[in-house]
Amino acid sequence: MKELRLQGLSTVVPGSREPSMAFELGELSIQPHLMKITQVNCVGATGCATGCWLPGLLKVSCLSPGVATFCKDSATPVAAEEGLSGLLATQNGDVGCYGNMDEFTQEELRSLDSEGRALLTQHKIRTWEGKEKTLTLINVYCPHADPGKPERLAFKMRFYRLLQIRAEALLAAGSHVIILGDLNTAHRPIDHWDAVNLEYFEEDPGRKWMDGLLSNLGCQAGSHGGPFIDSYRCFQPKQEGAFTCWSTVTGARHLNYGSRLDYVLGDRTLVIDTFQASFLLPEMMGSDHCPVGAVLSVSSVPAKQCPPLCTRFLPEFAGTQLKILHFLVHLKQDPVFKQSALPLSNQTQVQMRPNKARVHSTRPRPTSTKGQKQLMSYFQSSSSRLQASANLELPSLGTLVTPKTPEDKVTAKVVEGQSKASEAKNEKEVRISFWKSVLGGPLPMPLCRGHKEPCVMRTVKKPGPNLGRHFYMCARPQGPPTDPSARCNFFLWSRPS
């Protein structure tokens, strides 16, 4: 599971310290046949949790995004469904309530649901007054609008429209609705680190869509606008620097140079009556996004069984063991196995001996009759070395005269040792200079002008005439231009080698 974002929804159970949890995960890159049993049915504090993984991942490559929902046993959903259009519904345990989608063609609906970006789970909840209601969670990972691909912006806006139609249809049917996940749009200027410098920030079509979806006066009674409320801004309307996404390439998280793309949106009645808190967890690492969540003052009413979309019912896991205890069952020994494990009979042993002797006879045997050698036998004594050296012819010493006095002998040894050390040093320097001339080594990094610190080398990845070229830039993390500890604007092309 590469680069996972965890969006948590906590429902407070009356009279209990242990909240029941539903975890929403987005931007997954894993296929069901690559998952392990522990990933399919996570063991939580109260037992084996039910995981509703998106089967649509089977239809796309493992690099495509996907979403998943994990629920504790105490929050087992009554229904689950893949996609927003209803074309992937199986008529067995589906959520339903699709609304009027006549503005979409069948081909367009299939395309919008082909990337595994939405998963719906429907739960039963009980309020403080004891009323039982229906709550539908829409776990989404909305498309990103690539500036270089205009068709992706159109795809993103059509996905937004389909999401809104489905959510409003569920509301009209009497269900509470929570839209949870990465919407890939920073709604207001307070939600973006550099909104004042972005041209036409307010004119972005994604922000206009959110303006129509959300109420414009937060949690206040009597506010007007869309049917949903941004739960975080409901509790923290003026909190600056509340971001959920940062660039990992520029290290922008160190200076909180990011944007808020992840949301917990609830329908107005649900947020005003039951939401107790909405939070971000920027200190939790592991992704370019951080978790977001909310706390509701309701208790969950679990279903008696998991919906058919749950991964435990997928063909890949049919008949597999779900708990570790199944692997620890004491096995009774089969009587047939006991008989087969008896020692071989004498007749069988006698029949095997000739074969064994024939095999051993083909192996070369040592001629020596001695036993195993000792370690000291591999070392040569000093007397034998002296005898061997006596047979060697000594080289001519020329004009050198062997010293006869003890003082001359000591002086000769010192001179000889210094000569050998000098020769070894010179030889080492020659080798080092040779390899330096061959390999060259990396050039020193240039210093940025803003901080006088070594730069880092980057490679151009954008298609164009400079694709693949190397350049130098400041090594500090990206941050606000007014922050002196942030990256400066130093740039230098690398000379071709």
pLDDT band at 433 (very low <50, low <70, confident <90, very high): confident
Which range is least confidently modeled, 105-109, 259-263, 277-281, 483-487?
Answer: 483-487
Per residue in 291-344, pLDDT tens? 999 999 998 898 888 888 887 777 666 665 455 665 565 666 555 444 544 444
Range from 33-37, 217-221, 418-422 that averages highest in pLDDT? 418-422
Class of domain 35-44+54-316: alpha beta
Among this protein's residues, is 160 annotated catalytic?
A: no
Higher local confidence (pLDDT), 112 or 411? 112
pLDDT at 344: 42
Nearest of 261, 246, 242 to residue 187 by alpha carbon: 261
Among this protein's residues, is 141 annotated catalytic?
A: yes
Q: How many CA atoms lie within 13 A of 233 on its CB side?
A: 22
Is the pLDDT score of 183 beyond 80? yes
Q: What are the domain boundaries of the chain?
A: 35-44+54-316, 455-493
CA distance 244 to 230: 14
113, 182, 230, 262: the catalytic one is: 182
Element holding 406 (H helix, E strand): helix 406-439
CA distance 282 to 284: 5
94 is annotated as contributing to ligand binding:
no
Range from 210-219, 236-245, 411-420, 442-451 that averages highest in pLDDT? 236-245
141, 160, 257, 263: the catalytic one is: 141
408 is annotated as contributing to ligand binding:
no
Nearest of 23, 9, 26 to residue 288 by alpha carbon: 26
The residue type at 272: I
Higher local confidence (pLDDT), 388 or 201? 201
pLDDT at 21: 55
160, 187, 289, 472: the catalytic one is: 289
289 is annotated as contributing to ligand binding:
yes
144 is annotated as contributing to ligand binding:
no
